[in-house]
Amino acid sequence: MNAEIIAIGSELLTPFRQDTNSLALTAKLNELGIELDFKSVIGDRRSDLINAARIAFGRADIIIFMGGLGPTEDDLTREAVAESLGLALRRDPRLEEELRARFAAHGWKMADNNLQQADVIAGAEVLANARGTAPGQFLRAEFRGKQKVVMLLPGPPHEILPMFDGACVERLRSIAPPRNIATRVLRIAMVGESLADKRAAAIYKEHSDVQTTILAGAGEVQFHLRAQAASQAKAQKAVDTLASKLEDEFEEAVFSAHGESLEQIVGYYLQMRSATLAVAESCTGGMLAQRITSVPGSSRYFLGGAIVYDNSLKSDLAGVPPLLIAEHGAVSEQVAAALAEGIRERCKASMGAGITGIAGPGGGTEQKPVGLVFIAIADDSGTEVVERRFPGDRDRIRLYATQLALDTIRRKLM
Amino acid sequence: MNAEIIAIGSELLTPFRQDTNSLALTAKLNELGIELDFKSVIGDRRSDLINAARIAFGRADIIIFMGGLGPTEDDLTREAVAESLGLALRRDPRLEEELRARFAAHGWKMADNNLQQADVIAGAEVLANARGTAPGQFLRAEFRGKQKVVMLLPGPPHEILPMFDGACVERLRSIAPPRNIATRVLRIAMVGESLADKRAAAIYKEHSDVQTTILAGAGEVQFHLRAQAASQAKAQKAVDTLASKLEDEFEEAVFSAHGESLEQIVGYYLQMRSATLAVAESCTGGMLAQRITSVPGSSRYFLGGAIVYDNSLKSDLAGVPPLLIAEHGAVSEQVAAALAEGIRERCKASMGAGITGIAGPGGGTEQKPVGLVFIAIADDSGTEVVERRFPGDRDRIRLYATQLALDTIRRKLM
Q: Which residues of A touch B11 (CB under 8 A)?
A: 213-215
What would you measure as the largest C-alpha separation in chain B, in angstroms? 82
**Long-range Cβ pairs for the range A322-330 (8 Å, 24+):** A329/A368, A330/A282, A330/A356
Same domain for B156 and B37? yes
In percent, how much of chain B has pLDDT > 70? 100
Cα–Cα separations (whole angstroms), residue A7 to A16, A21, A148, A170, A339: 15, 9, 18, 22, 51
A217 vs B: CB within 8 A: no
What does the DSSP 8-state code read for residue B166? Answer: I
Is some CB atom of chain A closer than 8 A to the CB atom of B215?
A: yes
Last residue of a domain, one of A175, A205, A223: A175
Per the CB < 8 Å rule, is B48 touching A39? no
- Average pLDDT on B54-74 reads 95
- Can you give the pLDDT at residue B289? 98
Residues 323-352 of B with CB under 8 A from A: 346-348
pLDDT at A204: 87
Interface contact flag, A307 B279, Cβ < 8 Å: yes
Within this chain, do residues A166 and A290 fall inside the same structural domain, yes or no? no
**A388 phi and psi angles, rounded to 5 deg:** -145, 155
Q: Find chain B residues with C-beta within 8 A of A12's C-beta.
A: 39
The shortest CB-CB distance from A316 to any of B114, B158, B346 is to B346
Is residue A185 within 8 A of residue A259, CB to CB? The reply is yes
Q: In this complex, do B72 and A214 lie within 8 Å of one another by their Cβ atoms?
A: yes
Q: Judge if B184 and B94 occupy the same domain.
A: no
Check A215 against B17: CB less than 8 A apart. yes
Q: Please give the pLDDT value at position B179.
A: 87
A366: left (phi over 0), alpha (psi -120 to 50) or beta: alpha
Specify burial of residue B414 (Cβ count, 10 A radius: 0-12, 13-18, 19+). exposed
C-alpha A64/C-alpha A67 separation (Å) is 10
Task: Confirm or reject contact between A286 and chain B (CB < 8 A).
Answer: yes
Domain boundary among B236, B256, B276: B256
CA distance A21 to A41: 12
Sequence letter at residue B320? V
* Same domain, residue pair A247 and A375: no
Q: How many CA atoms lie within 13 A of A2 on its CB side?
A: 15
Q: Could you tell me if A194 and A164 lie in one domain?
A: no
A292 contacts B287? CB cut-off 8 A: no
CB contact under 8 A, B41 and A39: yes
CATH number for A358: 3.90.950.20
- List chain A residues with CB under 8 Å of B17: 215
- Is the dihedral angle over the CA atoms A156, A158, A163, A164 positive or is it negative? positive
Judged by CB atoms closer than 8 Å, whether chains meet at B362 and A297 is answered as yes
Q: How far A93 CA sits from the closest chain B CA (Å)?
A: 36
Per residue in A89-99, pLDDT tens?
999 999 999 98
Question: What is the Cα–Cα distance from A290 to A304, expressed in whole angstroms?
Answer: 10
> How many angstroms separate the CA atoms of B192 and B338, rounded?
30
Which B residues, 221 through 240, put their C-beta within 8 Å of a C-beta on chain A? 224
Of A27, A287, A303, nearest to B290 by CB-CB distance is: A287
| A338/A401 same-domain check | yes
Q: How far apart are CA B12 and CA A16, in angstroms?
A: 19
- Which residue of chain A is at minimal alpha-carbon distance from B396? A294
DSSP 3-state assignment of B115? helix
Which of B113, B145, B175 is at the close of a domain?
Answer: B175
Domain count, chain A: 3
Helices and strands, number each (H, E), in chain B: 14, 17
pLDDT value at residue B293? 98
Q: What is the pLDDT of residues B186-224, one digit of tens each?
A: 999 988 877 888 899 889 888 989 988 888 777 899 998
For residue A354, what are the contacts with CB-CB under 8 A and spacing of at least 6? A279, A280, A281, A318, A335, A336, A337, A338, A339, A340, A341, A342, A343, A374, A375, A376, A377, A378
Chain B positions in Cβ-Cβ contact with residue A27 (cut-off 8 Å): 15
pLDDT reported for residue B365: 95
Determine the residue of chain B that is closest to A26 in CA distance.
Answer: B15
φ, ψ of residue A251 in degrees (nearest 5): 45, -130
A398 interaction partners in chain B (CB closer than 8 Å): 294
Query: A382 — phi, psi (to 5°)?
Result: 125, -170
Residues in a beta bridge with A64: A5, A151
Contact of A387 with chain B, judged by CB distance below 8 Å, is answered with: no
The Cα of A121 is separated from the nearest Cα of chain B by a number of Å equal to 25
B12 touches chain A (CB under 8 A): yes
d(CA A56, CA A261): 36
CB of B15 closer than 8 Å to CB of A13: no
Q: Are residues B171 and B184 in the same domain?
A: no
Are both A170 and A248 inside the same structural domain? no
| C-beta atoms of B41 and A43 within 8 A | no
Closest approach of B242 to chain A, Cα-based (Å): 20
Task: Determine the Cα–Cα distance for residues B356 and B102; give it in Å rounded to an integer.
Answer: 47
By Cβ distance, the residue of B73, B111, B317 closest to A306 is B317
For the four alpha carbons of B74, B75, B78 and B80, in that order, the dihedral sign comes to positive
Q: What is the pLDDT of residues B266-318, one digit of tens each?
A: 999 999 999 999 999 999 999 999 999 999 999 999 999 999 999 999 999 99
Per-residue pLDDT, A120: 98
Report chain A residues whose CB lies below 8 A from the CB of B155: none
DSSP string, A204-255: HTT-TTEEEEEEEETTEEEEEEEEEESSHHHHHHHHHHHHHHHHHHHGGGEE
* Residue A266 touches partner B, C-beta closer than 8 Å: no
DSSP codes, B43-90: -S-HHHHHHHHHHHHHH-SEEEEES--SSSTT--HHHHHHHHHT--EE
Compute the distance between CA of residue A292 and CA of residue A298 in angstroms, rounded to an integer. 7
pLDDT value for A147: 97
Q: How many CA atoms lie within 13 A of B338 on its CB side?
A: 24
Q: What is the CATH number of the domain that holds A36?
A: 3.40.980.10
Compute how many other C-beta atoms are within 10 angstroms of the C-beta atom of residue A158: 11
A279–B111 C-beta distance less than 8 A = no
In eight-state DSSP terms, residue B34 is P
- Reported confidence tier of residue B17, pLDDT bands at 50, 70, 90: confident
Specify the pLDDT at position B191: 85
* Whether residue A271 is found in the same domain as residue A395: yes
**Chain B residues with beta carbon closer than 8 angstroms to that of A362:** 296-297
Residues B106 and B221 in one domain: no
What pLDDT shows up at residue A123? Answer: 97
Average pLDDT, stretch B24-32? 94
Which residues on chain A are in Cβ contact (under 8 Å) with B52? 38
Write the DSSP assignment of B349-398 as a string of letters: -SEEEEEEE--SSS---SSS-TTEEEEEEEETTEEEEEEEE--S-HHHHH
B55 to chain A, any CB pair closer than 8 A? The answer is yes
Average pLDDT along chain B:
94
Question: ∠ CA B78-B83-B86 to the nearest 5 degrees?
Answer: 125
ipTM attached to this prediction: 0.82
What pLDDT band is residue B88 in, cutting at 50, 70 and 90? very high
Dihedral pair phi/psi, residue B90, rounded to 5°:
-125, 140
Residue of B nearest to A298 (CA): B309
Q: pLDDT 10s digit of each residue in chain A, 414 long?
A: 999 999 999 889 999 889 999 999 999 999 898 999 999 999 999 999 999 999 999 999 999 999 999 888 889 999 999 999 999 999 999 999 998 998 888 887 888 888 999 999 999 999 999 888 889 999 999 999 999 999 999 998 889 999 999 999 999 999 988 888 899 999 999 888 888 988 998 898 899 899 888 888 778 999 989 999 999 999 999 999 999 999 999 999 999 988 899 999 999 999 999 999 999 999 999 999 999 999 999 999 999 999 999 999 999 999 999 999 999 999 999 999 999 999 999 999 999 999 999 999 999 999 999 999 999 999 999 999 999 999 889 999 999 999 999 999 999 998
Instruction: Give the structural domain span for B379.
Output: 262-413
* B307 touches A at CB < 8 Å: yes
Q: Are residues B8 and B63 in the same domain?
A: yes
Query: Computed over its alpha carbons, how large is the radius of gyration of chain A?
Result: 28
Tell me, yes or no, if B70 comes closer than 8 A to chain A by beta carbon.
Answer: yes
- Distance between CA atoms of B325 and B93, rounded to whole angstroms? 68
Closest partner residue to A309 among B24, B113, B304, by Cβ? B304
Burial of residue A236 (CB within 10 Å: 0-12, 13-18, 19+) is middle
Residues in A closer than 8 angstroms to B302, CB to CB, are: 285, 309
> Which residues in chain A are closer than 8 Å to B13, comparing Cβ atoms?
26, 35-39
| Distance from the A49 Cα atom to the nearest Cα atom in chain B, whole angstroms | 10
Option in A30, A292, A305 nearest B15 (CB): A30
CB within 8 Å of chain A, chain B residues 118-177 = 131, 158
A80-100: burial string, b at 16+ Cβ within 10 Å, e else: bbbbbbebeeeebeebeebbe
Which 3 state secondary structure label does DSSP give A57?
A: helix
Answer yes or no: is pLDDT of B107 > 90: no
Q: Does B394 touch chain A (CB under 8 A)?
A: yes
The residues facing B185 across adjacent strands are B224
Contacting residues for B254 by C-beta, under 8 A, at least 6 apart:
B186, B187, B188, B246, B247
Closest by Cβ to A26, choosing from B13, B346, B398: B13
Q: Say whether residue B86 is in contact with chain A using an 8 A CB cutoff.
A: no
pLDDT the model gives residue B217? 75
pLDDT digits (tens, 9 = 90+) for B327-371: 999 999 999 999 999 999 999 999 999 999 999 999 999 999 999
Query: Could you tell me if A154 and A279 lie in one domain?
Result: no
Q: Name which of B265, B293, B267, B404 is nearest A399 in CA terms.
A: B293
CA dihedral B7, B8, B9, B14 (to 10 degrees): 40
- Angle in degrees, 0-180, between the axes of helices A193-204 and A232-250, rounded to the nearest 10: 130
Q: Taking CB atoms and an 8 Å limit, are A309 and B317 in contact across chains?
A: no
| Distance (Å, whole) CA A164 – CA A25 | 8
Q: pTM here?
A: 0.82
Partners of residue A45 in chain B, C-beta under 8 Å:
37
User: What is the predicted pLDDT for the residue at B151?
Assistant: 98
Q: Which residues contact A236 (CB under 8 A, 6 or more apart)?
A: A182, A227
SS3 (DSSP) at B126: strand
Check if B353 contacts A (Cβ < 8 Å): no
Mark yes or no for CB contact B15/A38 under 8 Å.
Answer: no
Which phi and psi angles does A373 have, rounded to 5°?
-140, 135
Identify the bridge partners of residue B128 per DSSP, sorted by sequence position.
none
Cα–Cα dist A243/A224, whole Å: 10
Cα(B243)–Cα(B223) distance, rounded to whole angstroms?
Answer: 9
Reported as a pLDDT band with limits 50, 70 and 90, residue B79 is: very high
Q: Are B316 and B303 in contact (CB under 8 A)?
A: no
- CB atoms B20 and A16 under 8 Å: no
Distance from CA of A310 to the nearest CA of B (A): 5
- Residues in chain B within 8 Å Cβ distance of A41: 38-40
